[in-house]
């Protein structure tokens, strides 16, 4: 810093300043003023930063601001959106078409057109008439109303997982009456698709499943939902709908989950065998068949992600930052569209590597599914040939049983939405068994014909 000499100090005291000293004094004054201004501005900026940090921390602690009250059965997501605008903005995107992945996406894909073999496999059942890939939650009412299967004869059971208005109707009429009411009547009282009330308690905003069939199944399994962790709930609210289910009967279509023995395919198969249940009889093979729905929760439960504590929402509703807040992205979709937030939070490889790993699993699964379909259709055709040749039902009983066992395994993987990714090893195992049982069914039918003298084994090839 500038320090004046004794001569200069004397001049300052007496007032006799030389021009050089006067210029130097002006320079020093400017420096002092500049330092003062910088100090004031710096103090202001630091104070503003500290205030902002404090406010953001408080905002993060108290992120629920009730702008409007939420009623017990408020089904309109726009009302919830006043209190949770960021979550609502992402939920609204569930009606957007984000395009296709290799084996899924948001396009309305016609599965029967993509794989005509399904018409043979599901012959005699409504899925042979129309079978489309699912779109986003925002389309749930539109898509279930427009689907051709069962037409206007759809029972209320078909509407169980399609609207947030259902929670109110279950309260008003009870679950059983809801199931027994024609869906076309229920739709008149439902305006909103799957949204907030399906998964959240309107008072506490905590996650909680509301589907009566799910609650019944978990109780039967001895699982106390009141003791579930938040991470478990992040899968349970998905598992109340993305599951295998069945109707008690055509006359009484009460919704049930076949989980009494467990979630593995063998547990479900045993449950159906024990109650002597079947969805339909295949017109060509004569086998009593099970139509598996979408067992995403069950297959995921056998995989490494479930075992590692990774929930459905971690991948399909990954966290995102909005200011100081961390929210779940309610644009529920394929994790392939959000690899950075869905996958790289745990897996430290680049996006292309992770996508390739998914692709390898899914393509391998698809190849085994194709082989399974060919084998099952061969079994169907062989049983039909034997039946048409006059082989009696008793002699074809084993072949039909094997057809049922083969197809339920193939369908468990084919009707699940991850193309094997939710549990790769389990998917490969079940498809391998499907091929094996299908070929056993074919051989059994061929032997039945040979035993009855209707044909020679040499006429058939495997």
Check whether 353 has a pLDDT greater than 50. Answer: yes
Helices (H), 325-392: 339-342, 351-388
Examine the domain organization and report whether 149 and 188 are in the same domain: yes
What does pLDDT average to over the chain? 91
Cα torsion 110, 113, 114, 116: sign? positive
> Does residue 178 share a domain with residue 126?
yes
Average pLDDT over residues 360-373: 98
pLDDT band, residue 201 (cuts 50/70/90): very high
CA separation for the pair 233, 310 (Å, rounded): 11
Q: Check residue 34 and give its pLDDT.
A: 79
pLDDT at position 166 over 70? yes
* CATH code (residue 253): 1.10.1130.10
With vertex at residue 129, the alpha carbon angle to CA 124 and CA 130, rounded to the nearest 5 degrees, is 135
Strand pairing partners for 246? 256
* In a shared domain, residues 140 and 237: yes
Instruction: Give yes or no: residues 215 and 286 share one domain.
Output: yes
β-pairing, 246-247 vs 255-256, is: antiparallel
CA dihedral sign, ordered 451, 455, 459, 462: negative
At residue 64, the pLDDT reads 61
- The residue with greater pLDDT, 131 or 54, is 131
- Which of the listed residues 352, 377, 406 is the one where a domain comes to its end? 352
What pLDDT is recorded for position 1? 46
Domain boundary among 352, 378, 401: 352
Residue 94: the pLDDT is 96
Domain presence at residue 244: yes
The answer, yes or no, to whether residue 266 has pLDDT greater than 90, is yes
| Helix or strand (DSSP H, E) at 424 | helix 424-451
Q: Domain total for the chain?
A: 2
Instruction: Verify that 255 and 135 share a domain, yes or no.
Output: yes
Give the lowest-confidence range in 5-9, 107-111, 319-323.
5-9
Q: Which residue has the higher pLDDT, 46 or 424?
A: 424
Q: Using a CB cutoff of 8 Å and minimum separation of 24, what contacts does 321-327 make?
A: 322/86, 323/56, 323/59, 324/56, 324/57, 324/59, 324/60, 325/59, 325/60, 325/63, 325/86, 327/86, 327/87, 327/90
Task: Give the pLDDT of residue 458.
Answer: 45
Residue 318 maps to a domain: yes
Alpha-carbon span 366 to 329, nearest angstrom: 29
Q: Does residue 289 share a domain with residue 180?
A: yes
User: What is the model's pLDDT at position 360?
Assistant: 98
Residue 54 lies in a domain: yes
Both 284 and 348 in one domain: the answer is yes
What's the CA gap between 378 and 120, in Å, rounded? 11
If asked whether residues 225 and 269 sit together in one domain, one would say yes
198 lies in which domain range? 77-352
Cα torsion at 59, 63, 66, 68 (round to 10°)?
Answer: 110
Whether 181 is covered by a domain: the verdict is: yes
Reported as a single tens digit per residue, the pLDDT across 174-192 is 999 999 999 999 999 999 9
pLDDT score, position 318: 96
Q: Tell whether the model's pLDDT for residue 407 goes beyond 70.
A: yes
Helix (H, G, I), strand (E, B) or coil at 207: strand
Angle (deg, nearest 10), helices 393-414 and 424-451? 160
Q: What sections of 62-108 are H helices per DSSP?
A: 77-83, 85-91
- Per-residue confidence band for 48, with pLDDT thresholds at 50, 70 and 90: confident
Calculate what percentage of the chain has a pLDDT beyond 90. Answer: 77
Burial class (CB in 10 A: 0-12, 13-18, 19+), 30: exposed
Domain boundary among 303, 336, 352: 352
Q: Among 65-69, 252-256, 325-329, name the one with the lowest average pLDDT.
A: 65-69
Segment 222-242 shows an average pLDDT of 97
Confidence of residue 38 (pLDDT cuts 50, 70, 90): confident
Instruction: Report which of residues 322 and 253 the model is more confident about.
Output: 253
Look at residue 194 and tell me if it is in a domain: yes
Residue range 288-333, pLDDT digits in tens: 999 999 999 999 999 999 999 999 999 999 999 888 789 999 999 9
Same domain (yes/no): 197, 296 = yes
Q: What is the CA radius of gyration of the chain?
A: 33
CA atoms within 13 A on the CB side of 186: 35
């Amino acid at each position: 810093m500038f320090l004046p000499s004794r001569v200069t100090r004397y001049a300052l005291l007496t007032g006799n300043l030389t021009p050089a000293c006067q210029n130097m004094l002006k320079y020093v004054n400017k420096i002092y003023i500049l330092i003062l201004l910088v100090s004031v501005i710096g103090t202001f900026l630091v104070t503003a930063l500290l205030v902002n940090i404090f406010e953001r921390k408080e905002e993060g602690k108290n992120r629920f601001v009730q702008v409007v009250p939420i009623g017990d059965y408020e089904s309109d997501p726009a009302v919830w959106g006043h209190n949770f605008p960021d979550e609502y903005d992402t939920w609204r995107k569930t009606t957007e078409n984000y395009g296709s992945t290799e084996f899924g996406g948001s396009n309305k894909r016609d599965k029967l057109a993509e794989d005509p073999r399904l018409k043979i496999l599901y012959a005699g059942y409504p899925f042979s008439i129309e079978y489309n890939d699912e779109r986003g939650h925002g389309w749930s009412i539109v898509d279930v109303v427009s689907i051709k299967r069962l037409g206007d004869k759809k029972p209320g059971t078909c509407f169980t997982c399609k609207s947030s208005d259902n929670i109110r109707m279950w309260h008003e009429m009870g679950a059983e009456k809801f199931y027994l009411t024609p869906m076309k009547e229920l739709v008149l009282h439902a305006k909103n698709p799957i949204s907030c009330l399906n998964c959240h308690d309107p008072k506490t905003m905590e996650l909680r499943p509301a589907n009566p069939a799910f609650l019944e199944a978990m109780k039967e399994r001895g699982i106390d939902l009141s003791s579930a962790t938040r991470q478990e709930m992040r899968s349970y609210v998905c598992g109340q709908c993305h599951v295998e289910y069945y109707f008690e009967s055509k006359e009484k279509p009460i919704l049930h989950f076949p989980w009494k023995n467990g979630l593995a395919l063998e547990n479900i198969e045993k449950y159906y065998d024990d109650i002597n249940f079947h969805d339909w009889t295949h017109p060509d093979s004569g086998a009593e068949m099970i139509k598996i729905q979408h067992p995403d929760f069950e297959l995921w439960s056998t995989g490494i992600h479930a075992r590692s504590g990774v929930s459905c929402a971690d991948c399909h509703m990954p966290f995102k930052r909005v200011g100081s807040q961390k929210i779940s992205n309610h644009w529920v979709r394929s994790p392939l569209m959000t690899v950075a937030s869905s996958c790289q939070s745990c897996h430290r490889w680049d996006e292309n590597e992770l996508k390739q790993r998914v692709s390898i699993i899914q393509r391998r699964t698809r190849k085994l599914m194709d082989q399974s379909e060919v084998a099952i259709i061969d079994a169907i055709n062989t049983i039909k040939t034997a039946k048409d040749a006059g082989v009696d039902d008793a002699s074809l009983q084993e072949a039909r049983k094997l057809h049922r066992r083969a197809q339920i395994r193939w369908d468990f993987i084919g009707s699940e939405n991850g193309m094997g990714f939710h549990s790769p090893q389990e998917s490969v195992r079940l498809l391998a068994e499907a091929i094996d049982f299908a070929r056993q069914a074919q051989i059994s039918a061929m032997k039945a014909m040979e035993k009855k003298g209707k044909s020679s084994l040499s006429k058939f090839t495997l």
